[in-house]
Amino acid sequence: MSVVPDVMSGTEVNMTWQAPAGSVDLYKLTLTSGLDSSTVTETGTNFLFVGLATGTEYGLRLQSQAGPVVSAPVETTFITSECSASLFG
């Protein structure tokens, strides 16, 4: 399983991943920045994080779960853009 961040703007990032072989009940995504962290669950293979701080480095940990069995984590990092608004519009 791998996870790919797509930084949409300074405040949004869309995470996508491939489902592993076998059945999966849910995915657990933990987003961290400094000492702050937030965990969400998802049943699909993408999730849009919104309300992020611009120009900030984040870490993401993804795990799949089938019943009581939890996968080893897959981790990635990304940096949001510095500017969230278009200068031309």
Q: Can you say whether the dihedral through the CA atoms of 16, 19, 23, 29 is positive or negative?
A: negative
| 51 in Cβ contact with 36 (< 8 Å) | no
Host domain of residue 13: 3-79
Q: Is residue 68 assigned to a domain?
A: yes
Which DSSP symbol is given to 43?
Answer: S
d(CA 8, CA 31): 16
Mean pLDDT, the chain, rounded, equals 89
26-30, 34-38, 42-46, 85-89: which range is least confident on average?
A: 85-89
Is residue 63 situated within a structural domain? yes
- Write out pLDDT tens, residues 63-89: 999 999 999 999 999 999 886 554 444
- Cβ atoms of 66 and 25 within 8 Å: the answer is yes
Q: The pTM is what?
A: 0.85
Residue 85 falls inside a structural domain: no
Write the CATH number for 35: 2.60.40.10
Q: What's the pLDDT at 4? A: 83
State the Cα angle at 87 between 49 and 48, rounded to 5°: 10
Residue 89: inside a domain: no
